[in-house]
Structure formats: structure tokens, C-alpha cells
Structure 1
Amino acid sequence: MDMQAGYKKQLLPMEKVLRDPIHNYIYIQHQVILDLIDTKEFQRLRRIRQLGVASSVFHGAEHSRFSHSVGVYEITRNICDLFERKFPSQNADDGLWNDEERLVALCAALLHDVGHGAYSHTFEHIFKTNHEEMTTKIITSPKTEVNAVLRKVADDFPQKVASVIQKTYPNPQVVQMISSQIDADRMDYLLRDTYFTGTNYGTFDLTRILRVMRPYKDGIAFDMSGMHAVEDYIVSRFQMYQQVYFHPVSRSIEVILSHLLKRAKHLYQQKQFDLLGDVHLLAPFFENDFKLEDYLLLDDGVLNTYFLHWTQSNDDILSDLAERFLYRKPFKSVKVCESSKVLLPKLRDLVDKAGFNSEYYTATNDSFDLPYDAYNPKQKKPRTQIELQQKDGTLVELSKVSSLVGAITGKVSGDERFFFPKEMRATSNQLEIFEPLYQEFNSYVHNDNLVMKEDIENDKN
């Protein structure tokens, strides 16, 4: 049986649909996709928020990694349909779309985030996990339901799907559908996140972008006529990072979460188990010796349950951080610049003197992003540039013809902030003995910026 015949056999007798607020309908046409959705590893994504702690700022942001993953699948399915209808390959060397690649593209799109953990990025930082590595393990491990479903297609099919995630799959069109500067993943999360946060920053013309996509030998390009739609996407992405993903309150809650997990790990390693209670699901991570099965037992709800128990802990730091996290009591923050970094030790000392352990009640956190960057092979991780196809068939990189994109190319957006307890900004009527301390702290923290003393004097003058 050839590959095309095998592909036809994968079709469902009647397609199934999922209702979706972004794409209206998500069409399930292959048995393998339906079976993958039903696996316990994929269903776990229902219990992991797409935007982590962002719901503490944007209360509607309760959507899950599950809904995002099926959305990425749907965009990828639409791309495959358009390519097959408009650019079907006639021979192996024409650089057009070979529809035998459809199934591996769809499976990779669906599974691209299956390895995300509970409160994914914060958890990764504390416990040194990597969601892309975990995704590969889930796909290739013979112990998972996902792997069993993929092996029904072919014995080597799990490794093919994993290679798309790892960006080593030989067909660059498939890789760029899932991972590039303008891919199904980014397009879905921008539209989905803007919808659920109640903002308008991430909106762009998805239909137009899909219509101007073009396969070519080295990947995917966009017809020159669609340049303005691509520009709109780049600007939307820029705005979402500034207004949503880098929101200082979200970052503050992440800092508290990070310190909470750090404190719990410290207590465990100091064998102060009576202060933690039963933490058998987290123990493998505290011991830096976890298996895939341990990883898959965790989700946002499991961690929240632990946090709720820790609010009753006799360890003051653990219980206080748990309460701050669960009941939304964020740290305050101010911007830091290169010249004012010398003040940070002094400010941490003042926080310590006020009765807060600066190791757990202060942090510096930076969030930076390149909204668009032209391809640079010298970078550690060079980005796939956006190519526009001109009428004569030649390609030109986006920033060369778009003055709008050219203006932000290579420009880093974001900031670095110093986080500290909100109480440090108070006048502390209850703690009159600390009043001079609070006044000194506030003399350095001015108009939400961390400033040098001479800057304050200049403001007074």
C-alpha cells in the first residue's frame, strides 16, 4: 500500500466538528486526529491555562492549552487545503505542496504544545524542565497513549512528528507551518489571547494572510499583494507583547509563583516536611529526579491545591506567598535602567530591614522580545525570515520593502523591573518605627521608575 493510499485510509467516514469562538468550527477529518484528541496526555491540556497567571489581570483569560492546540490544528488544516487546491505538486522538484505531508503537519500542529507543564514557564524555570523536550518525549515514548495512536499510522510516524517539533523534518514547508515568524501557532494564540483577554491589540486579517501564503522549495512565502496584511500581523504581535504578555502585574504574580515554588523546594531539601505536608506529586521535582509519568500528573489545579494547603503552613514565608498568589496580592514594581542598577542592593537591604526576606520578596525580572528580526545566520537561533513573492517569482525579505516593519526590525521591546512588597510603598502608620526606612525606600522609587538620588534632586529643581 503506497503512502497516498494509507493517507486515504485515515479519513473518517463522516467529519466531526468542534465549536470554537475563534474559528467557528474546527473540522476533524482523520481518525488519527480524533484519537489523539482523546488521549489522556492531550486531554491534560484542558487543565493548563494558555496564559498562565494572566487571568489575574485579564479575568477572561481562562482559556486552555487544549483550545489553543486544536486552533493551531485548524489553521494548519486550512493551509493544507489551500496549498492542495492552489499549489499541488506536479513533480518532486517543483517546490509545490505534496499533500502526502498533510497528516504529519496536522499531527505536529495538534501536538506542538502537548509537553507544556503546570504554569508552564514559571515551573520550567524553577525545576529546569523544557516543554519542547517534554513534547518530544510524549510523542516518542512507547509508554504514552499519544505514541500508540501515532504508531497506528506507521512505526516511524512518531519520530517524523517529533522531528517537525524539533525543526529537523526534511520538508521546510511543514516546519514553517508550525514554527516560523508567522505560523499557525502564533496566528492562533494572537487571535485567541486577544479574544479572551477582551483586548483588540492582537487582531489581524487571518483569512487574507492564508490566501496569500505560497509554498516554495525552501519553505513558505507570501504574495506581495498581501504585504499589508502581514504588516498588520507584525504590529498586532508587537502590541500584544507590550500590552498583554509583558503586563507588569502578570509578571509580578509570576514572580510570587516562582518564589513560592522556590521556598517549597528549599523546605523540602531541608527536610522540613512538617511545614509542607504531603507533597508526593511534587517530590520528584524537589529531588531533581522526575520521570515523564511524574510530569504528566501535574496541572494547574494540582499546584493550586498544594498552594491552598500551604496557606495553613507554619512557615511564614510559604504561607504568605501562597496567600499572595491565590488571593491576588501582587508585588509592586518599578523600571530599572543600567545607571540605577547600583541601587538594587540598597533597596534589598531596606526590604530586609522592614522584615521581609529579600530573597523571597524582591526580584528583578526582564521581558524582552524582537517583534520582527530579519534572518541572521550568526544568531544562536536564527529566525526564519518572512519572504514576499514578487510578480516575477523572485523573493524579497519583508523589511526590505515595508518601511513599517523596517522601522521595528531588530528593535527590542520590553523592560526590566524591580519587584518588591507593596507594603514598602505605604507610609506604614502601624509601624511608625519604620517610617524613616519607608521614606528612604520611596525616595529611590519615583514615579514607577527606579532613579538615582541625583535624578530626584534634578526633579526637585
Structure 2
Amino acid sequence: MTSYATAKLQEEKVFKDPVHRYVHVRDQAIWDLIGTKEFQRLRRIRQLGTTYLVFHGAEHSRFNHSLGVYEIVRRIIDDVFAGRSEWDEQERLLVLCSALLHDLGHGPFSHAFENVFATDHEEYTRAILLGNTEVNTVLQRVAPDFPEKVAQVIEKTYANKQVVSLISSQIDADRMDYLQRDAYYTGVSYGHFDMERILRVMRPRANQVVIKESGMHAVEDYIMSRYQMYLQIYFHPVSRSAEVILNNILKRVKALSEEDYWFKHAPIHFKPFFRNQITLDDYLALDESVMLTYIQFWMQEEDVILRDLSSRFINRKLFGYINMNPQKEPQRFERLQQLFNQMGLDATYYVVHDSTSDLPYDLYQPGAAMEKLPIMLQMSNGEVRELSQESSLVDAIAGRLKTDHKVYFPEEVLTDSEVDKGVREELIGLIHHCS
């Protein structure tokens, strides 16, 4: 009798995918997980948050991405690792389930939401995996301890680091999918690299995955793709402007709620978050469709700040920005805030500092708090060497943190004839000094 852990569908199911052409599903457990309401919810969470306001094609969901990560892992273990002595076939279903479910806990517009309500999508991923959910019911059918194992892989605490590294390392299925998928849907060329070549030269080794030396140039291309995607897409200043406004909408709603403000459209879905009494059902009930509906309602509120910020987000009337680091120019930033307050625009919501940072490739630091496994090359003589020791290109950017600071504000005040001329001229002087 076939156990659920090894049960196969009578006929293979396929999803047509614009990045991988097809996503293949033969395992009954994978098919059942895709059908759960918690996984289907990911259709209603965009992969790139507010980026659709800049790159109009970026409407793809975390559902798309999760299927893509699963498919990459499936190809690695079924087409490349299968039959190799260093790969434990008994880990197969575990790594497939972990790949599929790795983003399960993301909330709507993930980063802005987490900033305001201090939630952690990784904690909610664990809660969904182990809680009273359809996903947990499916995983329990594999084995009683299987949900916990999946949680450990996603949290990077699972004992077999080889399994963890397939989903979370410096060259993993997660990154390989989102770079290509995000490049496809934004219409840019930066994120493309030869993934097929990388998959072909991946090899399982004790507690790690290595890349054959002959694939080094394909890996260099992958790292440069990631570097460019962060600069050009993920940290795009206009997308960040939209996120700043969204962040401030949620901050304003929270502040008004604490003041017992009477809403025309009460934020019922948000009340558990304001009170920090969030159940898993409360969390799962919120998606981007619900949030956008509320923001449209809030365009009609009496509160001027909430009404204005909501209208800006829905109608894409975003903030402008200047390059400024308030830590290096505290007096200039403080004066900017004072001038906005003087104009009757609360600087808390209308003068906002935002910073972004990326590390294209991190050097290996054993024992570091957030230890990242390096990319290891398997040399022709069998020796294993860290990538930056062999690649001068990677060595040039390894360990170099790039941080960008911007201050966002409604730039229309600079040309508003109703603003006091002296205030306007001082503002223009401050802005031009920073540009």
C-alpha cells in the first residue's frame, strides 16, 4: 500500500508558466497543498508590493513565485541530484514542500505592513504551518512531525544544511526565480541569467550544495543580475515613494484609532492589529484587495491627512524626493520639517526619510548572527573553494554594503503660489542644495 508521502497523482498536472514554461506536479501532497485556502491566498498578495505603480506589468503574485521556486527545486533534485550518493532521496518531499510554502506568511504590501504593525511574515509562516489550517492538515498526513520539519527548513534551522541551502542561501531557488520572474513582469533585461547552466553544474555534497568550477561565469552573471535588479527595480525611488505613502496611511489610521476618531468606514479588519491581539484568522483575512478597498473608503474621511494620503496612493500622486541622509545633515533635515509644519503640513507624514541597503554577495563569517552560506566552487581536482577566491569580479563587490538615503516630500509645494513666498524660496534653497 502506497503511503501519502510517496503517493502520486494518476496523471501529472502542469501549470503554464511564462518563466519556466511549465510547472510539473506529480506528488499528491504538493497538489493538495496548492489547493489549500492559505496557499490560494497568495494569489491576492503581489510579489513586488507597490512596484506596479512604476512598472505597470509588475502585477504578479506570491502564488506565481512560490510555484516557480517549487519548480526550480524539483528540477534540481529530480533531474540533477537524483541517484547521486551525496543526496538523500528521503529529503525529497520535505524540500519540495518547503520550497512551495516558503512565502506563506507574507501579508499585504508586506514591508509597509510589517513596519507599522510590527508583524513578522516568517513567524506567520510558522503559525500557518503548525496551526489549525488546511496546510497543516495536509502536512500532518505525511507524518506527525512533518509540519515542524518544513518550518525548520524555511527558518534555516533544519539539521541538513544541504536541504536549507536549496531554498535559502546566496544562490538558491528563491532568488533564481524572483530575479527572472520580476525581470519578466517589469519588462527589464537586468534579471536574466543562464539558470539552466547553473542547475546543470550544481552538485550535492555533505551538508552543502556546490557549483562545478566550469559554471563560475554563469554564477558571476547571476550575481550581477541580482546587483542590477536591486539598484534598478527593488530600490526604485518612485516605488519607494509609494511605499512611504502607504506606510504613512497605515500609521495615520493607527493613530486616529488610538484617539477614538470616528471613521465613516471603520477599519474593522485592522482593529486586532491596532490592539496587538491578532489571531491567525485575523491575519489571513487581510489581503491587498481588502486593503485597497479600505484605502478607497478613506479617501472620503473627514481627517485631512488620511484623506490626502489615501487619494495620493490610489491616484498615484506620489511624493518627490532628494538625496539626503538626516544623520549627516540633521540641521538641514530639521529645518525642512519645520518649514512643512509652518505650511500646515504635518512633517511626521509629509517629510519622510527612507534608506535602502543591499549586499550583492556576502563574505562567509562563521558564527555571525545572520550567517550566510557562501557559494562554493568544486574545482577539477575535487577541492572546494569559496567563489570570491576564484572570481575577481565577485571579489570586487563582495562584502560591500551599498546604502542609499532619500527624503520624500510633496514637491508640488515648491510651485504652489499659495505658499508664503519666503517659505517657498527657503524650501527651494534647501532642496537644491541636496540635489
TM-score (normalizing by structure 2): 0.97
Larger mean Cα displacement after TM superposition, 278-287 or 374-383: 374-383
In structure 2, how many angstroms separate the alpha carbons of the residues matched to 1:218 and 1:402? 23
Q: Is the 8 A contact 1:364 1:418 kept in 2?
A: yes
SS in 1 for 2:420: helix
Which residue number in structure 2 is paired with residue 132 of structure 1? 122
Amino acid at match of 1:421: P
Please state if 1:311 is matched with 2:299.
Answer: yes
Q: Which residue of the partner structure matches residue 445 of structure 1?
A: 431
* Conserved? CA contact 2:5–2:142, under 8 Å: no
The answer to whether the 8 Å contact 1:351/1:424 transfers is no
Q: Paired residue for 1:376, among 365, 371, 396? A: 365
Counterpart contact for 1:385–1:397, Cα < 8 Å: yes
Alignment match, 2:348: 359
Secondary structure of 2:171 counterpart: coil
Whole-angstrom distance in 2 between the partners of 1:404 and 1:120: 33
SS in 1 for 2:370: coil
Counterpart selection for 2:101 from 86, 111, 128: 111
- Read off the aligned partner of 2:434 and give its amino acid letter: L
Match of residue 191 from structure 1 = 180
**What amino acid is aligned across from residue 435 of structure 1 in structure 2?**
K
Can you give the 5+ residue segments of structure 2 that lack an aligned partner in the other structure?
Answer: none
SS of 1:278's equivalent in the other structure is coil
Q: Work out which of the residue numbers 332, 354, 357 in structure 1 matches 2:320.
A: 332
Question: What per-residue deviation string (whole Å, max 9, x for no partner) do you get for residues 237-271 of structure 1?
Answer: 00000000000001010000000000000111111
Partner SS, residue 152 of structure 1: helix
Deviation at 1:438, TM superposition (A): 1.2
> What is the CA-CA distance between 1:378 and the residue it aligns to?
5.0
2:259 maps to 270
Distance of 1:298 and 1:123 partners within structure 2: 11
Give the C-alpha shift of residue 276 in structure 1.
5.1
1:129-278 aligned at under 5 Å gives the runs: 129-141=119-131, 143-272=132-261, 274-275=262-263, 277-278=265-266
**How far 1:47 sits from its partner (Å)?**
0.4
Match of 2:38 in 1: 41
Whole-Å separation in 1 of the counterparts to 2:308 and 2:391: 51
| 8 Å Cα contact 1:264/1:276 also seen in 2 | no
Q: 415-424 or 192-201: which moved more?
A: 415-424
Does residue 88 of structure 1 match 2:84? yes
Provide the rounded CA distance (Å) in 2 between the counterparts of 1:262 and 1:185.
31
Q: Is the 8 A contact 2:197 2:215 kept in 1?
A: yes
- 1:387 CA drift (Å): 0.4
Cα RMSD of the aligned pairs, angstroms, is 1.4
Gaps spanning 5+ residues in structure 1: where?
Answer: 90-95, 452-461
Work out which of the residue numbers 317, 334, 354 in structure 2 matches 1:345.
Answer: 334
One-letter code aligned to 2:57: G
The 1:342/1:397 distance shift into structure 2, 3 A limit, reads farther
2:381 match: 392
- Measure, in 1, the Cα distance between the counterparts of 2:367 and 2:89: 34
Q: Counterpart of 1:282 in 2: which secondary structure?
A: helix
Task: Return the offset for 1:8.
Answer: 7.0
1:359-390 deviations in Å (ceiling 9; x for gaps): 11111100001000111125320211010000
Secondary structure of 1:191's counterpart equals helix
* 1-structure distance, mates of 2:264, 2:232: 37
Moved more, 437-446 or 34-43: 437-446
Are the structure 2 counterparts of residues 217 and 97 from structure 1 closer, same or farther at C-alpha, using a change threshold of 3 Å? same
Percent sequence identity over aligned pairs: 50
| 1:75 CA displacement | 0.3
> Which residue, 311, 314, 317 being the options, matches 1:323?
311
Q: In the TM superposition, what whole-angstrom CA distance separates every residue of 1:103-122 from its partner, at most 9, and x where no partner exists?
A: 00000000000100011111
Contact 2:81–2:204 (8 Å) recurs in 1: no
CA pair 8-381 structure 1, distance change in 2 beyond 3 A: closer
Q: Structure 1 pair 246/434, CA: closer, same or farther in 2 (3 Å)?
A: same
The 10-residue stretch of structure 1 (172-181 or 340-349) with the greater mean CA deviation from structure 2: 340-349
Describe the SS at the equivalent of 1:377: coil
- CA displacement at 1:277 relative to structure 2: 2.2
Change (3 A) 1:445 1:8: closer
> Contact (CA 8 Å) 1:76, 1:177: kept in 2 or not?
yes
Question: In 2, distance between residues paired with 1:395 and 1:405?
Answer: 17
Please give the secondary structure, in 1, of the residue aligned with 2:170: coil
1:374–1:410 contact (8 Å) kept in structure 2: yes
How many residues align? The count is 434
Please state how far the C-alpha of 1:445 moved relative to its aligned partner: 1.3
Residues of 1 paired with 2:328 and 2:185: CA distance? 38
**Corresponding residue number in structure 2 for 1:458:** none
Distance (Å, rounded) in 1 between the aligned partners of 2:182 and 2:6: 36
The 8 Å contact of residues 242 and 414 in structure 1, kept in 2 or not, is answered as: no
User: Deviation per CA, 1:400-433, whole angstroms, max 9, x where unpaired?
Assistant: 111100100111124010111122332x22x1x5
